[in-house]
């Protein structure tokens, strides 16, 4: 009988921690390889982790609701044979590639931008990664039944780790590497700031001077407010006040919105649109046998209109990278979704290549997955332009905040009947208001106006999509 310990893996996004949402097993339960043992929440989404072992659950090492670091032991399993086993301190990669494997990115991947849904802004509460503990002396070597040995350069004078230990060492070193230019590193050293605690927003995933300044400002603000005198009966002592911990998706979203609001110079414009023909078009689609079983709404026409208008005005589908503007000649259309876990912005990949029916199916799938809290990190990475449907809540319009890494967002207000002048006569029409926010470093007034006019033109006459 051998005791195996499973450590919390990095689920592929370079994250440092996760919340334990729900255990699917209890001590004494029998598990097989790939059985789901726990549901965790990262800053991106909910993820189910499979068991890498077959055996009996010995103990659950962390409680539901706890926030733990990547690499922390979370569960131990007793297996029946020591053959092909690792040491109790080692954790093999989960057996199922589809169920969040331990990330071991290539050296080239370490230079790529860090992926984030909304991950910007200072993160003073980031938890340091715990250093990996070496196996105790005398531990038997892993057998051939383990993961294949990875080739990892060993420090001078030290033997290279083998098997799963090598993969973990390599992944840990790559994840812990922080990109920053020498002046930023020096400034961080002078300020006593650990660069691992600073959220990077640079185009190549590096910590910028602005990131450092934002972090320092947040740290000073927290220091100034710490230890203050509390008056009796204040909010801190009021039992009628519910306290909700800010973590996971909500914390990532909050940091992102603060960073976006204060780093990108927002400019917003609005346009009233006669969407009567859009309403008629949606009605015909709902009655069509081609769309049987597919939920169709005016949001579908707006999404198609945004794709069409962005193709005519490519610079709204871009990223500000400091010394250059990255114009994307493809559309990963983000759809802001309000869920019980907070705001999420999954995106539809390569939306420009989808037919109207395919886009409708994609919107249905995106909405259902978000409502269930099953949106995967990859679905929220790489968005290029976002739509937020505030009209579904009965709101006429608003000034949305641009999703980090993008330069434009369109808010879709409610559609309602209003008096409208047509050929000199006042008649009831279906009217909506579009609100667009733009990063003025990339999108000036003329471009934003032309883009919004193109979107409005499709809502006024959907037949233009067929041209």
Distance between CA atoms of residues 247 and 119, nearest Å: 13
Our answer to whether residue 440 is catalytic in this structure is yes
Distance between CA atoms of residues 380 and 362, nearest Å: 14
With beta carbons less than 8 A apart as the criterion, state whether 318 and 407 touch.
Answer: yes
Q: How high is the pLDDT of residue 446?
A: 93
Distance between CA atoms of residues 197 and 31, nearest Å: 37
Helix (H) or strand (E) holding 364: helix 356-371
Q: Cα dist. 327→314, 363, 385 in Å?
A: 7, 24, 11
Q: How high is the pLDDT of residue 123?
A: 42
Q: How high is the pLDDT of residue 192?
A: 84
- Residue-wise pLDDT for 219-274, tens only, equals 776 665 554 444 444 455 566 667 777 776 667 767 776 777 767 788 899 999 99
Distance between CA atoms of residues 264 and 83, nearest Å: 57
| Residues 353-376 as b or e (16 or more Cβ within 10 Å = b) | ebebeebbebbbebbebbeebebb
Catalytic residue, from 128, 266, 329, 440: name it.
440
Neighbouring-strand partners of residue 4:
77
Please give the model's pTM, rounded to 2 decimal places.
0.53
C-alpha R_g of the chain: 26
| Residues 116-145 as b or e (16 or more Cβ within 10 Å = b) | bbbbbbbbbeeeebeebeebeeeeeebeee
Q: State CA 235 to chain mean position distance.
A: 32
SS3 at position 110: helix
Residue that is written with structure tokens 């503007």 in the block: 325
Using CA of residue 412, residue 414, residue 415, residue 418, what is the dihedral sign?
negative
Q: How high is the pLDDT of residue 437?
A: 94
If the chain, 467 residues long, is cut into consecutive pieces of 10 residues, what is the mean pLDDT of each piece?
88 73 91 90 77 92 87 90 43 42 39 38 42 44 40 46 55 61 79 85 82 82 53 53 69 71 83 96 95 94 96 94 91 87 86 96 92 83 93 88 92 95 94 95 93 96 84
Q: DSSP string covering 58-96, please?
A: EEE-S-TT-EEETT-EEEEEEES--TTPPPTT--PPPS-
Strand-strand pairing, 408-412 and 385-388: parallel
Q: Which domains does the chain have, with CATH numbers?
A: 265-466 (3.30.559.10)
Token pair of 29 as six digits:
């339960």
The Cβ of residue 114 has, within 10 Å, a number of other Cβ atoms equal to: 18
Using CA of residue 360, residue 366, residue 369, residue 371, what is the dihedral sign?
negative
Q: How high is the pLDDT of residue 168?
A: 58
Distance between CA atoms of residues 390 and 323, nearest Å: 34
Token pair of 208 as six digits:
């910028």
Q: Catalogue the E-assigned strands of 8-160.
A: 17-23, 30-31, 36-41, 46-50, 55-60, 67-69, 73-79
CA-wise closest residue to 164 among 2, 9, 3, 1: 9
């Amino acid at each position: 009988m051998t005791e195996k310990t499973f450590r919390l893996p990095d689920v592929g996004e370079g994250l440092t921690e996760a919340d334990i949402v729900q255990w699917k097993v209890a001590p004494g339960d029998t598990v097989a390889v790939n059985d789901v043992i726990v549901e965790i929440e990262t800053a991106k989404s909910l993820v189910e982790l499979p068991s890498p072992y077959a055996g009996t659950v010995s103990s659950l090492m962390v409680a539901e609701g706890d926030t733990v670091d990547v690499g922390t032991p979370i569960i131990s399993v007793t297996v029946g044979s020591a053959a092909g086993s690792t040491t109790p301190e080692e954790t093999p990669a989960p057996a199922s590639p589809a169920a969040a494997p331990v990330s071991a990115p290539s050296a080239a991947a370490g230079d790529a931008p860090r992926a984030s849904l909304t991950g910007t802004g200072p993160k003073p509460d980031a938890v340091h990664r715990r250093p990996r503990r070496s196996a105790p002396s005398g531990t038997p070597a892993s057998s051939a039944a383990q993961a294949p040995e990875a080739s990892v350069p060993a420090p001078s004078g030290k033997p290279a780790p083998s098997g799963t230990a090598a993969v973990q060492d390599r992944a840990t070193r790559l994840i812990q590497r922080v990109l920053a230019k020498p002046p930023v590193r020096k400034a961080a050293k002078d300020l006593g700031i650990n660069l691992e605690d600073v959220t990077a927003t640079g185009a190549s995933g590096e910590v910028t001077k602005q990131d450092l300044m934002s972090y320092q400002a947040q740290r000073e603000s927290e220091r100034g407010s710490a230890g203050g005198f509390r008056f009796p009966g204040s909010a801190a002592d009021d039992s009628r006040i519910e306290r909700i911990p800010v973590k996971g998706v909500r914390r990532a979203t909050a940091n992102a919105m603060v960073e976006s609001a204060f780093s990108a110079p927002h400019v917003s414009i609005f346009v009233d649109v006669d969407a009567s023909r859009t309403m008629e078009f949606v009605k015909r689609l709902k009655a069509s046998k081609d769309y049987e079983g597919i939920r169709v709404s005016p949001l579908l026409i707006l999404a198609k209109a945004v794709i069409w208008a962005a193709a005519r005005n490519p610079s709204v589908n871009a990223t500000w990278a400091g010394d250059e503007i990255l114009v994307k000649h493809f559309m990963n259309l983000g759809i802001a979704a309000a869920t019980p876990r907070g705001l999420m912005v999954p995106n539809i990949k390569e939306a420009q290549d989808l037919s109207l029916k395919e886009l409708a199916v994609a919107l249905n799938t995106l909405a259902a997955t978000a409502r269930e809290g099953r949106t995967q990190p990859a679905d929220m990475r790489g968005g290029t332009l976002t739509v937020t449907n505030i009209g579904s809540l009965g709101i006429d319009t608003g000034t949305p905040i641009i999703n980090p890494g993008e330069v434009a967002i369109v808010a879709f207000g409610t559609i309602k009947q209003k008096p409208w002048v047509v050929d000199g006569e006042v008649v009831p029409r279906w009217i909506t208001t579009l609100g667009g926010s733009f990063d003025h470093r990339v999108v000036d007034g003329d471009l934003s106006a032309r883009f919004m006019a193109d979107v409005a033109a499709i809502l006024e006459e959907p037949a233009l999509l067929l041209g």
